[in-house]
Amino acid sequence: MGFQSVNKMFERSFQANWERAALSNYQGITLKYSDVARRIEQLHICFRNCGIEKGDKVALCSKNQANWGVCFLAATTYGAVPVPILHEFKPENVQYLVNHSDARVLFIDDANWEGMSETDMPDVKLIVRMSTLEYIYAADKSFIEARERLADEFKALHPDGFGPEDLNYFEDGPEDLALINYTSGTSGFSKGVMLPYRAIWSNIRFAGESAEPQMTCESNMVAMLPSAHMYGLMFELLFEMTIGAHVHFLTRVPSPKVIMKAFSEIHPDVIIAVPLIIEKVYKSQVKPAADRNKTWLSIPLLDQIVLGKIREGMINAFGGNFEEIILGGAAFNPEVEQFLRRVKFPFTVGYGMTECGPLITYAHWNRTKKGSCGYAISGCSIRIDSPNPYKIPGEVQVKGDNVFVGYYKNRQATKASFTNDNWFKTGDMGVMDDDGYLYLRGRSKCMILGPSGQNIYPEELEAVINNVNYVVDSLVIEDNGALTALIYPDYRQGQIDGLEAEEVMQRITDCLPDINKIVPGYAQIRKIEFLSEDFERTPKRSIKRYLYQR
């Protein structure tokens, strides 16, 4: 099947599912596809009145909610370029990304707007409160006046009422820029991934082809991952909007208790999650049950009865109606994976990156292999940069419709991310088997994936830590799901200043609250450990990071 315009897919879906539920805030409002279309049309009018043109950037920063989906779809169907920004970023980081992306419109909620000012974003023409779609700021008085006349203008444009036949969304081409998704939030290291529409289309196409059974307009999805992250955006919103499914946004912090309650009420057809959610359920509910029945699990035949009951309990805990749980965004605990395979729990582990929109590999749960993250999606090719890709780990490299075109305003990083023959260098190490299944063996890049799939770049955190007095160098590592900073202090300078080693370490420790005020909320440093000697280093004086991973 050749490329199809993504926005025209939205248009056809909206027309076919006009009276069906589209977007809901869990335990809150529900918008039908007709309601979403109406709000999109109103925003299109606002864009025109404010001089927003096709190709202009539209930034979005707020927690998950129905209007997040409305605003994103309004931008893309207008022909603008959405720029999703994680709502957990600090105000100064949000402002930097808005400016760096050249955004002309910013959709934001009150909690994120605190500490920000339109004067720090001089190119922004319009700032809109996402929850109500009211203007917070307009660069010209005429924009406010036009907003006040919006109802009359809408009626004048649609005197016979607004219906499915009135939709005429921007028709995108495969190489048109679909969105810019930033991989981090600190200015010195931010990279804006430019995804063309072919990358969005290839992921949507594969989701439609791979679902077993096929998701339909009758399907329900619980959106609990950040919509500003490519994993959640693609598979908890965009794909669903092309088939007429119903998306339920968890607008509160997605704690296991809230998630399980939502699953029990909504009964989702497919669950998109990060491993942490499954691991928490395993540790809190499954493992205790397994330990209580340890004797029975050691007896043939009886063990199958016990395992069957554990499986049934887990399936019911996740709503009882799902085809499979698709895990991604972080490494999966081997102990949990082994047990879930033993009970034949319907889960699979995929692999992707923002730069691939995001999916690279996937296999349905009944075809997946232990330790594997599946095989390449259609339209995507994988190769391992290794003399023996079946035994010796090498860098995973990707080519295909799903691959991005480069980093926004960063030619150097773009060039460094591709081989001379134009394969994307993922920075991940892996091997493949004879069937094309990929097995990741580690990350050659330093990125740490947060519990909800956020990209955490340790260099950013280390740059903050290294500014603290008496710190020679630091290394941030993941340690049992939290972040630990390994620090080599400047003991010599401490001696010069009349401080004992313990006093130097205490002064650095006392700065931890100030460090955590600067870094994003999901990248808080939980613990500091001090080294008595400098880090092991390469000839270029870089730290040999692999020696310190746990």
Contacts of residue 525, defined as CB under 8 A and 6 or more positions apart, other chains included, come to 461, 465, 476, 483, 484, 485, 512, 515, 516, 519
pLDDT band at 550 (very low <50, low <70, confident <90, very high): confident
* Mean pLDDT, residues 7-18: 98
- The CATH number linked to 478 is 3.30.300.30
CA dihedral 16, 20, 26, 27 (to 10 degrees): 170
Please determine, for residue 72, whether its predicted confidence score (pLDDT) is greater than 90. yes
Question: Residue 187: its pLDDT value, please?
Answer: 38
CA distances from 49 to 67, 407, 527 (A): 21, 31, 51
Question: Residue 540: its pLDDT value, please?
Answer: 43
Please determine, for residue 85, whether its predicted confidence score (pLDDT) is greater than 80. yes
- The CATH number linked to 187 is 3.40.50.980
Using one digit for the tens of pLDDT, what is the confidence trace for 493-511?
999 999 999 999 999 999 9
83: closest CA among 110, 105, 52, 116?
A: 105
467 and 435 within one domain: no
Show which of 215, 249, 283 is a domain's final residue. Answer: 249
288 and 217 within one domain: no
Greater confidence (290 vs 145) lies with 145
- Average pLDDT over the chain, rounded to an integer: 91
pLDDT band at 199 (very low <50, low <70, confident <90, very high): very high
Question: Is 467 within the bounds of a domain?
Answer: yes
Question: Is 261 within the bounds of a domain?
Answer: no
Question: Residue 450: its pLDDT value, please?
Answer: 76
Question: Is 264 within the bounds of a domain?
Answer: no
Q: Averaging pLDDT over each range in 127-131, 259-263, 334-338, 389-393, which range is the top one?
A: 127-131
Beta bridge partners of 59: 83, 106
315 and 221 within one domain: no
Using one digit for the tens of pLDDT, what is the confidence trace for 329-343?
766 777 788 889 999
Decide: 85 and 98 in contact? Cβ < 8 Å: yes
Question: Residue 287: its pLDDT value, please?
Answer: 78
288 and 163 within one domain: no
302 and 224 within one domain: no
45: closest CA among 126, 136, 165, 139?
A: 126
438 and 463 within one domain: no
Question: Is 544 within the bounds of a domain?
Answer: yes
Question: Residue 186: its pLDDT value, please?
Answer: 36
* Mean pLDDT, residues 117-142: 97
Q: Rounded CA gap, 464 and 449, in Å?
A: 19
User: Nearest 5 degrees, angle CA 175-CA 3-CA 80?
Assistant: 45
Decide: 272 and 453 in contact? Cβ < 8 Å: no
Question: Is 92 within the bounds of a domain?
Answer: yes
Phi and psi based region of residue 512 (left: phi greater than 0; alpha: psi -120 to 50; beta: remaining): alpha
Q: Rounded CA gap, 104 and 140, in Å?
A: 13
Greater confidence (518 vs 194) lies with 194
349 and 214 within one domain: no
379 and 431 within one domain: yes
Question: Is 450 within the bounds of a domain?
Answer: no
Question: Residue 328: its pLDDT value, please?
Answer: 84
331 and 219 within one domain: no
Please determine, for residue 458, whether its predicted confidence score (pLDDT) is greater than 90. no
Question: Residue 539: its pLDDT value, please?
Answer: 45
Using one digit for the tens of pLDDT, what is the confidence trace for 373-397?
999 999 999 999 999 999 988 899 9
470 and 412 within one domain: no
Decide: 179 and 82 in contact? Cβ < 8 Å: yes
* Mean pLDDT, residues 237-266: 91
> How many domains does the structure of the chain reveal?
3
Residue 351 lies in domain? 271-321+324-443
153 and 67 within one domain: yes
95: closest CA among 67, 123, 131?
A: 123
Question: Residue 90: its pLDDT value, please?
Answer: 87
- The CATH number linked to 296 is 3.40.50.12780
Please determine, for residue 538, whether its predicted confidence score (pLDDT) is greater than 70. no
Please determine, for residue 266, whether its predicted confidence score (pLDDT) is greater than 90. yes
208 and 90 within one domain: yes
Q: Rounded CA gap, 161 and 151, in Å?
A: 12
Using one digit for the tens of pLDDT, what is the confidence trace for 466-495?
888 899 889 999 988 899 999 999 999 999
Q: Rounded CA gap, 501 and 505, in Å?
A: 6
